[in-house]
């Protein structure tokens, strides 16, 4: 049971380049989220998904796209990278809060993170 995995671990991009940050989980969690972490700003929610085919915006969605075609995968796309997107990105998954057989409500299981540097 690998939990939540993210690739790559580290990436350097030039301004204007595009890339996809991969996130996968093998815990059969319905809910998945993307956060970015910047010094002094905490963890800010970018996009989240409550199930395959359903996504919604978080606090800072601009410049990022997501899709959720399977329960396991939730990739984050940067269409045209900007220096302001330099950050550490965390993917997280959690149980469906309405499924009473599973753990605490909305407990987030985080991946190891991806460090992104945009030059």
Partner 1 sequence: QQPVQSPQAVILREGEDAVINCSSSKALYSVHWYRQKHGEAPVFLMILLKGGEQKGHEKISASFNEKKQQSSLYLTASQLSYSGTYFCGTDYGDEGGKLIFGQGTELSVKP
Based on the shown chain and the rule CB under 8 A, indicate whether residue 64 belongs to the binding site for partner 1: no
CA–CA separation, 8 vs 114, rounded Å? 6
Based on the shown chain and the rule CB under 8 A, indicate whether residue 72 belongs to the binding site for partner 1: no
Based on the shown chain and the rule CB under 8 A, indicate whether residue 46 belongs to the binding site for partner 1: no
Question: Which of residues 18, 26, 56, 99 is near partner 1 by CB under 8 A?
Answer: 56
DSSP string, 37-92: EETTTEEEEEEEEEETTEEEE-SS-TTEEE--SSSSB--EEESS--GGG-EEEEEE
Question: Which of residues 25, 94, 116, 118 is near partner 1 by CB under 8 A?
Answer: 94
CA–CA separation, 87 vs 115, rounded Å? 6
Based on the shown chain and the rule CB under 8 A, indicate whether residue 74 belongs to the binding site for partner 1: no
**Which part of the chain contacts partner 1 (CB under 8 A), choosing from 8-16, 18-26, 69-77, 99-107?**
99-107
CA–CA separation, 94 vs 36, rounded Å? 17
Based on the shown chain and the rule CB under 8 A, indicate whether residue 117 belongs to the binding site for partner 1: no
Instruction: State the residues that interact with partner 1 by CB under 8 A.
Output: 31, 33, 35, 40-45, 48-50, 56, 58-59, 90, 94, 97, 104-113
């Amino acid at each position: 049971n690998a939990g939540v995995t993210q690739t790559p671990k580290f990436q350097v991009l030039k301004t204007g380049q595009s890339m996809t940050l991969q996130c996968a989980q093998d815990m059969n969690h319905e809910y998945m989220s993307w956060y970015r972490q910047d010094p002094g700003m905490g963890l800010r929610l970018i996009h989240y998904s409550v199930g395959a085919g359903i996504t919604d915006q978080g606090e800072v969605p601009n410049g990022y796209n997501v899709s959720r075609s399977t329960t396991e995968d939730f990739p984050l796309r940067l269409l045209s990278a900007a220096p302001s997107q330099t950050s550490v990105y965390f993917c997280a998954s959690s149980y469906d809060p309405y499924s009473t057989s599973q753990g605490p409500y909305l407990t987030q299981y985080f991946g190891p993170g991806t460090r992104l540097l945009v030059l």
